Amino acid sequence: MIRSICTLLCCFVLATICHADERSADGRLTVIRAGRVITVSGETYTPGMVILEGSKIRLVGKNLEYPASARVIDAGGETVMPGLVLPRTRFQLDSYRRAGVHGAKSAADEIVPSEIEWEKLASAGFTTVAFVPAGTGIPGFASAFRPTRSDEERLRQENSYLRITMRNPVQDRNVLKGALEKAKKEIEKVKKAREEWEKKQKASEAKKEAEKKEPPKPTPPQPRPRPGEFEEDGPAAEPQPTPEKKPEAPKEPEKFTPPKIDPNVQPLVDRLEGKDVAIVFDVGGASDLRHLDATLELYPEVTGSYALSLGFYDDPRPLVELLGKRKALVMLTPSIDTLPYTVNLFNLPAQAARAGCRLVFVPGSDSERSFERLLAQVADVVRAGLDRDAALRAMTIHGAELLGLASRIGSLEKGKDADIVFVDGDPLSPGSSVTRVMIDGELVWRKKR
Amino acid sequence: MSARTMISALLALLLALAPSGAVRTDEPRRGRPNAEAPAEAKRADEEKSEEKEDEEKDHFLAITGGTVHTVTGPQLEGVTILCKNGRIHAIGREIEIPEKAERIDASGHHVYPGLIALSSSGLVGYGDPEVSTDVYDLELTLGLAGGLTTVVAGTTAAKLTHGTLDGLILRRNLLESISYSTRSPSSRARFREALDRVREHLRALERYDDEKKRDPEAKKPDEKWIRGPYSTAMRLLKKEAIGRATANDAGDITALARLAGHYGFRLVIQGATEGWTVPRELASAGVAAIITPRSRRDRDERLVRPNGSSIEMARILHEHGVPFGIVPPSSFISTWGLAGRDLLHLPMEAAHAIRGGLPEQAALEAITIQAARILGLDHRIGSIEEGKDADFAISDGPILSYLSHVRWTVVNGRVAYDKAKDSLFDHIRPGGDFDAPPPPDHWPRSLGEEW
């Protein structure tokens, strides 16, 4: 019996080795051996291993077999976890304010990569950093970057999420309402043009059938409003010709060219048409949320995550209750503050998680010191009652979800990007610090001894 | 043949039902400007459509026990007030309370209609309260803790809807400010001129209406010039707004009363410190006053006529049939040290009038139904009657007593303030009962087990 099990095991081991060897033909595998591997999405292995293939994660487990040719990184007793996600920052960007609707802009427009000390971001354990446009109203899209060494590879996603503020309802309500109304008008405009086009098409078809003569002349392709900005909804992709016409279409190169849409409301148009555009609403207190709801009353398609920036006199409790009910993804700073007009301490992250919110942590300010302190701050909040897993997710996978990158980053899973952070101890212990940071399988930062 | 007639009859029935169903869709009471159209008709419509609506969606609130001060009717003991969707649905002894109704056991408490602050600052937002109000604001909550449910901010009447924007606006553009003081004869002349010109214009409009019947090509009088003071005059003369003027001198008050009587517009005089010396003028012109019974103004000994303030002001106005509302000296919540002079203590101000000889009932009316009448909103607020808004201040004693605290405040059928759940006054023991166990979160507050 035992013998048979042994042979089976041997076979299995051999098979894995062979398999691995096969794979290593096109690139060496990298093996990380660590005292602990926190996958965030699944189990925690103590000790554990992560096997990387190129820039992707291939296997995560406890005792994995790997070929002798693999490059081994022995992290000893250190902990390995997915790279941290910084969901909102303006680190080293100029301070300016813009108001109004700027859906065509993104933070990537204003970033000069050589002027940002990427190493400072990497050293805090961040492997994905979302820069946001400043200002009020709809200042534009946040852009996700990787603090890698080379400038070319840094931009991960230009349009991560659209930032909409509702901090001062007197102004912000009008801006948002105006933008939504405009978006609706633009949709109507395109619809009307399409109907007219269809009518013309039908008329010309009838004519053609009567005459059966010369082919129609092709229309010139319409230039895109901004290259790379709205790739998925260029004129070709948006309202496609009706499917029933397709079979007889091939001869006809004529296509419907929709009228131009104001690029600044394009993201809202997409959202109203059911496309996937991530939105993050910046709200202060619970009242702002009520005002936001009142503004979006007629637009149930427009939903999103929330970024909280509570004022000193804002009671967080009603806000937590409201957001918890809708199981919202909520971006906040992990800190424990007093309730307004009292000396009562309120663990906002813990209460929000308990109410049903999914948290995304963001450092208190855009300074190197604040970035470095994030882990310790989270540790404080966990010590005061926040669920440990919720805290770990809030720094990784939920941030990835907020940016719409959850399929690529945020946890140690097969097929995801090899963005890994090494910590000399438990990440949620105040004494621990980041020792190594890996992005796409490459070590980009190492703590100096 | 018979089947066809049946179908057509059914269709006709459906068509007949359709409009009343449509009324309901925009009915949820977000204070739109059209929300206050002919009250009775609208209410009837609403009731009809409400019956049709799914019972599941209705929100009920039942207030049981307690002494009910209806203000316009008798004082009732041991009755139940059933509110449905923000309105008072039924008052009586044997009322069936729906199972899912929210309940307030008010036994031992006094139930009053929600109090009305005829002028306020800072409780709801500035400008248009619908977009600027912080519905979780501390001052708004404190206003509720003082028993207020409706406040006038600027020219808008708004409800203190804690935690929601629904039903916040009661009526917009309610008031038009008038400046008509003896100190500025030229501005008085200008305003009279505006009133004259607009009155002439209104007559011209009437003539035009008549003429149009005979001659379809009749020319409509030009209306482009109706701006600024002329638009104020227009709104006053068309009775679209109530004039509001601040005046304390007997001379000013008399002048204003004569003006309103002469042109026939509705007017309310704020302050009216010397109003007690000219009550007949006020009463004959039908002018209302917003008074502060506690306000002091020294007597000028050089004058022969009675002048200065009088603690009996409210009584004298009441006895002459001048409608008046009461406001405290400060229209804010905070008075920076002058406790008891702000909107948190509106009933105390009314109690000051009682000191001057005003009957208690009249004092209560001055902060409820009279205030509603002055605003022309007495079909919605100001008393506990079936069909009116479900706004209540429920206190642990007579509300005009300095000992009483508001225990619950209900706005639009929702509990907007609960003393036991809000940390503001939770620690205050009713009637000085220091043996009562402290509330669980009383000072010194515990910082939680982890800390």
Residue B39 touches partner A, C-beta closer than 8 Å: no
3-state secondary structure of A133: coil
Q: Do B136 and A286 touch (CB under 8 A)?
A: yes
Query: Contacts of residue B129 in chain A, CB cutoff 8 Å?
Result: none
Residue pair B172/B139 in contact by the 8 Å Cβ criterion: no
Cα A193–chain centre separation: 35
Distance from B134 to chain A by nearest Cα, in Å?
A: 5
Identity of the residue in A170, A314, A318 whose CB atom sits nearest the CB atom of B132? A170
Residue pair A126/A371 in contact by the 8 Å Cβ criterion: yes
Distance between CA atoms of residues A307 and A311, nearest Å: 13
Distance between CA atoms of residues B145 and B135, nearest Å: 14
Edge-to-edge strands of the sheet including B75-77? B75-77, B67-69, B110-113, B392-395, B406-411, B414-418
* Residue A15 or B287, more confident: B287
What's the pLDDT score for residue B11? 47
What's the pLDDT score for residue B57? 84
Distance between CA atoms of residues A292 and A280, nearest Å: 12
Q: Which amino acid is at B342?
A: D
The A-side interface with B (CB below 8 A) comprises 169-170, 173-174, 285-287, 290-291, 294, 313-315, 318, 340-345, 383-385
What's the pLDDT score for residue B302? 94
What's the pLDDT score for residue B7? 54
Q: Do A286 and B447 touch (CB under 8 A)?
A: no
Residue B27 touches partner A, C-beta closer than 8 Å: no
Asked whether residue B292 carries a pLDDT value surpassing 70, the answer given is yes
Residue B438 touches partner A, C-beta closer than 8 Å: no
Nearest CA in chain A to B163: A287
Confidence of residue B316 (pLDDT cuts 50, 70, 90): very high
Place of tokens 């009447």: B157
Cβ-Cβ contacts under 8 Å for B40 (sequence gap 6 or more): B379
Confidence of residue A95 (pLDDT cuts 50, 70, 90): confident
Q: Look up residue B41 and give its two tokens.
A: 């008709």
How many other C-beta atoms are found inside a 10 Å radius of the C-beta of residue B127? Answer: 11
Reported as a single tens digit per residue, the pLDDT across A108-154 is: 999 888 889 999 999 999 999 999 999 999 999 999 999 988 877 88
Which residues numbered 138-157 in B keep a CB inside 8 Å of some CB on A?
138
Q: Do B136 and A291 touch (CB under 8 A)?
A: no
Residue B422 touches partner A, C-beta closer than 8 Å: no
Distance from A230 to chain B by nearest Cα, in Å?
A: 33
Distance from B140 to chain A by nearest Cα, in Å?
A: 12
Averaged pLDDT, B399-416: 93
Which residues numbered 112-131 in B keep a CB inside 8 Å of some CB on A?
125, 127, 131
3-state secondary structure of A144: strand
Asked whether residue B48 carries a pLDDT value surpassing 80, the answer given is no
Reported as a single tens digit per residue, the pLDDT across B118-176 is: 999 999 998 899 999 999 998 999 999 999 999 999 999 999 999 999 999 999 999 99
Report the mean per-residue pLDDT for chain B: 85
Interface test with A, best of B134, B424, B425 (most A CBs within 10 A): B134
Identity of the residue in B165, B441, B447 whose CB atom sits nearest the CB atom of A291? B165
Nearest CA in chain B to A173: B131
Q: Look up residue A224 and give its two tokens.
A: 């895109």
Interface test with A, best of B30, B128, B130, B131 (most A CBs within 10 A): B131
Q: Do A170 and B131 touch (CB under 8 A)?
A: yes
Distance from A73 to chain B by nearest Cα, in Å?
A: 39
Distance between CA atoms of residues A333 and A394, nearest Å: 10
Is residue A37 within a helix (H) or strand (E), and if so which, with residue range? strand A36-38
Residue pair B172/B156 in contact by the 8 Å Cβ criterion: yes
Cβ-Cβ contacts under 8 Å for B212 (sequence gap 6 or more): B218
Asked whether residue A246 carries a pLDDT value surpassing 80, the answer given is no
Which of A316, A408, A392 minimizes the C-alpha distance to A128?
Answer: A408
Identity of the residue in B135, B423, B451 whose CB atom sits nearest the CB atom of A384? B451
Q: Do A344 and B138 touch (CB under 8 A)?
A: no
Residue B26 touches partner A, C-beta closer than 8 Å: no
* Residue B441 or A147, more confident: A147
Distance from B83 to chain A by nearest Cα, in Å?
A: 24
Distance from B425 to chain A by nearest Cα, in Å?
A: 13
What's the pLDDT score for residue A233? 45
Q: Tell me how many residue pairs between chain A and chain B have CB atoms under 8 A apart.
A: 47
Cβ-Cβ contacts under 8 Å for B125 (sequence gap 6 or more): A170, B131, B132, B133, B134, B153
What's the pLDDT score for residue B429? 59
Query: Contacts of residue A169 in chain B, CB cutoff 8 Å?
Result: 131-132
Instruction: Characterise A352 by phi-psi region: left (phi > 0), alpha (psi -120 to 50), beta (else).
Output: alpha
Q: Look up residue A37 and give its two tokens.
A: 């591997």
What's the pLDDT score for residue B55? 59
Distance between CA atoms of residues A315 and A310, nearest Å: 8
Taking CA atoms, B134 is separated from B252, B287, B418, B419, B442, in Å, by 38, 35, 19, 20, 27
Is this complex's ipTM strictly greater than 0.85?
A: no
Distance from B104 to chain A by nearest Cα, in Å?
A: 22
Which of B157, B51, B172 minimizes the C-alpha distance to B391?
Answer: B157
Residue B28 touches partner A, C-beta closer than 8 Å: no
What's the pLDDT score for residue A60? 94
Q: Do B136 and A315 touch (CB under 8 A)?
A: yes
Which of A174, A165, A138 minimizes the C-alpha distance to A282?
Answer: A165
Q: Calculate helix-pair angle for A388-395, A348-355, nearest 10 degrees.
A: 100
Report the mean per-residue pLDDT for chain A: 86
Asked whether residue A425 carries a pLDDT value surpassing 50, the answer given is yes
Q: What is the 3-state secondary structure (H, E, C) of chain B?
A: CHHHHHHHHHHHHHHHHHHHHHHHHCCCCCCCHHHHCCHHHHHHHHHHHHHHCCHHHCCEEEEECCEEECCCCCEEECCEEEEECCEEEEEECCCCCCCCCEEEECCCCEEEECEEECCCCCCCCCCCHHHHCCCCCHHHHHHHHCCEEEEEECCEEEECCCCCCCCCEEECCCEEEECCCCCCHHHHHHHHHHHHHHHHHHHHHHHHHHHHHHCCCCCCCCCCCCCCHHHHHHHHHCCCCEEEEEECCHHHHHHHHHHHHHHCCCEEEEECCCHHHCHHHHHHHCCEEEECCCCCCCCCCCCCCCCCCCCCHHHHHHHCCCCEEECCCCCCCCCCCCCCCCHHHHHHHHHHHHHCCCCHHHHHHHCCHHHHHHHCCCCCCCCCCCCCECCEEEECCCCCCCCCCEEEEEECCEEEEECCCCCCCCCCCHHHCCCCCCCCCCCCCCCCCCC
Averaged pLDDT, B205-227: 90
Q: Look up residue B180 and give its two tokens.
A: 């008509």
Query: Contacts of residue A291 in chain B, CB cutoff 8 Å?
Result: 131, 165
Query: Contacts of residue A167 in chain B, CB cutoff 8 Å?
Result: none
Averaged pLDDT, B183-211: 93
Interface test with B, best of A290, A315, A347 (most B CBs within 10 A): A290
What's the pLDDT score for residue A5? 53
Most confident of the ranges A208-222, A235-249, A387-401: A387-401
Identity of the residue in A291, A318, A345 whose CB atom sits nearest the CB atom of B451? A345
Cα A310–chain centre separation: 23
Distance from A185 to chain B by nearest Cα, in Å?
A: 23
Averaged pLDDT, A427-431: 89
Q: A211-219: long-range contacts at Cβ-Cβ below 8 A with a sequence spacing of 24 or more?
A: A215/A251, A215/A252, A216/A252, A216/A253, A216/A254, A218/A253, A218/A254, A219/A254, A219/A255, A219/A257
Confidence of residue A339 (pLDDT cuts 50, 70, 90): confident
Query: Contacts of residue B165 in chain A, CB cutoff 8 Å?
Result: 290-291, 294
Distance between CA atoms of residues A214 and B432, nearest Å: 99
Nearest CA in chain A to B30: A294
Nearest CA in chain A to B125: A170
What's the pLDDT score for residue A232? 45
Asked whether residue B445 carries a pLDDT value surpassing 80, the answer given is no
Residue B88 touches partner A, C-beta closer than 8 Å: no
Asked whether residue B363 carries a pLDDT value surpassing 70, the answer given is yes
Distance between CA atoms of residues B122 and B344, nearest Å: 12
Q: Look up residue B39 and give its two tokens.
A: 């009250």
Interface test with B, best of A174, A291, A292 (most B CBs within 10 A): A291
Reported as a single tens digit per residue, the pLDDT across B232-285 is: 999 999 999 999 999 999 999 999 999 999 999 999 999 999 999 999 999 999
Averaged pLDDT, A382-397: 95
Identity of the residue in A291, A341, A345 whose CB atom sits nearest the CB atom of B448? A345
| pTM of this structure | 0.81
Confidence of residue A253 (pLDDT cuts 50, 70, 90): low
Instruction: Name the DSSP class of A222.
Output: P
Identity of the residue in A285, A342, A343 whose CB atom sits nearest the CB atom of B134? A285
What's the pLDDT score for residue B286? 94
Nearest CA in chain A to B134: A287
Identity of the residue in B125, B135, B423 whose CB atom sits nearest the CB atom of A342? B423
Share of chain B above pLDDT 90, in %: 69
